[in-house]
């Protein structure tokens, strides 16, 4: 009797499962036909995402467990690449350098972007359109071309920076050949190039703050600093958070600046640059893939932090 009941229950469960599966397929087909045009328009994005993002990510993960020079057969080595990275002093130097680039970018790019945005938002300023255009000029310049100019500026023998120091009675500084100072020129170049982009973003937020807030603060006798810290800064909270996350991702992927203004050894080398060197200079594809995935994990942590903060604020 019990066996018969068990058999009937099993048959019923299988039947209901098949029925549920059929209903899901019918609903999917119905929804697909109904929104076919929408799916058609967004399909190019997903095709490009699959071909140029998802597939390379999966392929890179597979390569990180192999030893491959890009041409010959692949040899599976397990987690050996990751173990070697943990013992690689050059890798940890690039991690420290990239962390320092990120820290400098967060502090100085956002600070200068805020200052310039406040100046450009000042209504009595004449020729604001001209200054806005000139402010954005560094961002559209080619990094390689500007990097070569910065190399000449910081040259020990004939660079303008050292010439100014010598005119002031000081000695010239080996900016590009010193292991301790070679990170400074790429930092200056990165801050100079990226400040305009975040200036535009912050300025758009400032211009969207209702003027009534400032008028009410003026009536209450608030000074410039009180208006900034009590009105401007709180109203720009979401925009500054967006700038922080965007700048974090971009600065951890810094490549062109230290690559063009190369220092001695790995003194100013970034993680992205070290990954490139292992990929296309010494052709250690598996090792480079492992570096790339560690960098991906670091950026994933920042993305998760952004997601949880936005979810806590009710924005996700």
**Which of 33, 26, 60, 97 is CA-nearest to residue 262?**
97
**Which of 136, 135, 96, 143 is CA-nearest to residue 255?**
143
Q: Which residue's entry shows tokens 């951890």?
A: 252
90/96 Cα distance (integer angstroms)? 10
| CATH fold label, 81-312 | MetI-like fold (1.10.3720)
251/229 Cα distance (integer angstroms)? 27
How many other CB atoms are there within 10 angstroms of residue 91's CB atom?
22
Q: Is residue 2 over pLDDT 50? A: no
Q: What percentage of the chain exceeds 90 in pLDDT?
A: 52
Evaluate whether 31 touches 42 at the Cβ level (below 8 Å). no
Evaluate whether 292 touches 60 at the Cβ level (below 8 Å). yes
**pLDDT tens figures, 12-27:** 445 555 555 556 566 6
Extents of the domains making up the chain: 1-53, 81-312
**pLDDT tens figures, 66-109:** 999 888 888 999 999 999 999 999 999 999 999 999 999 999 99
As a whole number of angstroms, the longest Cα–Cα distance in the chain is 105
- Highest-scoring range by mean pLDDT, 6-20, 29-43, 123-137, 206-220: 206-220
Q: Provide the pLDDT for residue 304.
A: 85
**For range 168-180, the mean pLDDT:** 90
179/175 Cα distance (integer angstroms)? 9
Q: What is the pTM of this model?
A: 0.83
């Amino acid at each position: 009797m019990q066996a018969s009941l068990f058999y009937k229950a099993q048959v019923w469960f299988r039947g209901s499962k098949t029925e549920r599966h059929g209903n899901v397929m019918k609903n999917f087909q119905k929804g697909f036909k109904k929104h076919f045009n929408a799916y058609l328009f967004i399909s190019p994005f997903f095709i490009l995402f699959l071909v140029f993002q998802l597939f390379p990510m999966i392929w890179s993960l597979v390569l990180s467990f192999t030893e491959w020079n890009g041409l010959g057969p692949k040899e599976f080595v397990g987690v050996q690449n990751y173990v070697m990275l943990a013992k690689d002093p050059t890798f940890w130097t690039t991690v420290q350098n990239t962390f320092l680039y990120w820290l400098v970018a967060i502090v100085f790019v956002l600070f200068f972007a805020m200052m310039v945005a406040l100046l450009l938002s000042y209504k009595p300023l004449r020729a604001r359109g001209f200054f806005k255009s000139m402010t954005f000029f560094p961002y559209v310049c080619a990094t390689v071309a500007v990097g070569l100019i910065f190399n000449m500026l910081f040259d020990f023998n004939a660079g303008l920076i050292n010439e100014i120091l010598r005119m002031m009675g000081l000695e010239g500084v080996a900016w590009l050949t010193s292991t301790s100072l070679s990170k400074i020129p790429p930092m200056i170049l990165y801050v100079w190039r990226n400040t305009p982009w975040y200036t535009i973003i912050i300025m758009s937020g400032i211009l969207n703050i209702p003027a009534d807030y400032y008028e009410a603060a003026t009536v209450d006798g608030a000074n410039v600093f009180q208006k900034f810290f009590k009105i401007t800064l709180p109203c720009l909270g979401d925009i500054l958070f967006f700038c922080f996350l965007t700048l974090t991702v971009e600065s951890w992927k810094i490549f062109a600046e230290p690559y063009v203004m190369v220092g001695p050894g790995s003194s100013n080398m970034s993680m992205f640059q070290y990954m490139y060197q292992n990929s296309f200079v010494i052709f250690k594809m598996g090792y480079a893939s492992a570096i790339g995935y560690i960098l991906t994990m670091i950026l994933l942590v920042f993305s998760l932090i952004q997601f949880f903060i936005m979810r806590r604020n009710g924005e996700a």
